[in-house]
Amino acid sequence: MSADLPLSTTQRTTLHRLRERGRADRAELYAVLDVGLICHLGVIVDGSPVVLPTGYGRVGDTLYLHGSSANRALLAADGHEICVTVTHLDGLVCARSVFNHSMNYRSAVIFGTARLVTDDAQRLAALQAVTEQLVPGQWDHARQPTRKELAATLVLELSLAEASVKVRTGGPHDDDEDYDLDVWAGVVPAQLMFGSPEPDPDRRADVNLPEHIKALAGHRRGS
């Protein structure tokens, strides 16, 4: 699929409320996913729905999740319908009434049948994507996974074919009669920012902080 193609318009990805906040371009889905760190995986485990936060990576139109070979949610997801969301909080929207408070955000919802990946090359590419999503530059910097580590790792794939994106921007929408109230209204912007790297006390003394990790300090993630 190309970034130029529109997002799916299946029944379940069609926004009903505040449709004008929906985005139609596939490129907007990629934009939300590519600056994120955490997704929420919704899956039925032993008959009960569970939603778990986890890392992820994207390769083309496939989203990859990974975890321990004992991960119950990943095992339960294999061959079944799941739902994955990614959310960025962009601001707190303070209104004159408590009713009209809101948040500014960009979020993606993805539906599909998940599959455990068994092909070795695809598994490695997926793990590279998951690692690079977390800390760009680490795949080449850190030691590569051993056979034993790979055997202890599950990799799950989910197509990005069926997905929606919703975005809220701007200030509060108050009721006309509330604009004269003695109440502050506006937006408090929000963003994720990394601090200075804190070295592991057990590190080898001659190993210096690499540039790609040094560059994270003060770096805004998610925008």
Ligand X SMILES: Cc1cc2nc3c(=O)[nH]c(=O)nc-3n(C[C@H](O)[C@H](O)[C@H](O)COP(=O)(O)OP(=O)(O)OC[C@H]3O[C@@H](n4cnc5c(N)ncnc54)[C@H](O)[C@@H]3O)c2cc1C
Which residues make up the interface to ligand X (CB under 6 A)? 12-17, 87, 89, 103, 105, 107-109, 164-166
Helix (H) or strand (E) holding 12: none
- Give the distance from CA 173 to its chain's centroid: 28
Q: How far apart are CA 138 and CA 128, in angstroms?
A: 9
Q: Considering the complex, what minimum distance in angstroms separates the CB of residue 202 from ligand X?
A: 38
Q: What is the DSSP string of 72-113?
A: HHHHHHTTSEEEEEEEEEEEEEE-SSSTT-EEEEEEEEEEEE
Tell me the chain's radius of gyration from C-alpha atoms.
20
Q: Which is nearer to ligand X, 71 or 164 (CB)?
A: 164
Q: Which is nearer to ligand X, 33 or 108 (CB)?
A: 108
Q: Considering the complex, what minimum distance in angstroms separates the CB of residue 74 from ligand X?
A: 22
Q: Considering the complex, what minimum distance in angstroms separates the CB of residue 22 from ligand X?
A: 7
Q: Considering the complex, what minimum distance in angstroms separates the CB of residue 7 from ligand X?
A: 9
Q: Which is nearer to ligand X, 87 or 159 (CB)?
A: 87
Q: Which is nearer to ligand X, 95 or 127 (CB)?
A: 95
Q: What is the DSSP string of 177-200?
A: GGTTSS---EEEE--EE-------
Q: Among candidates 158, 155, 67, which has minimal Cα distance to 110?
A: 158
Report the chain's terminal Cα–Cα distance, integer Å: 24
Q: Considering the complex, what minimum distance in angstroms separates the CB of residue 32 from ligand X?
A: 9
Q: Which residues pair with 33 in a beta bridge?
A: none
Q: Which is nearer to ligand X, 97 or 138 (CB)?
A: 97
Q: Considering the complex, what minimum distance in angstroms separates the CB of residue 194 from ligand X?
A: 21
Q: Which is nearer to ligand X, 43 or 108 (CB)?
A: 108
The pair of three-digit structure tokens given for residue 216, joined into one six-digit string = 């994270």
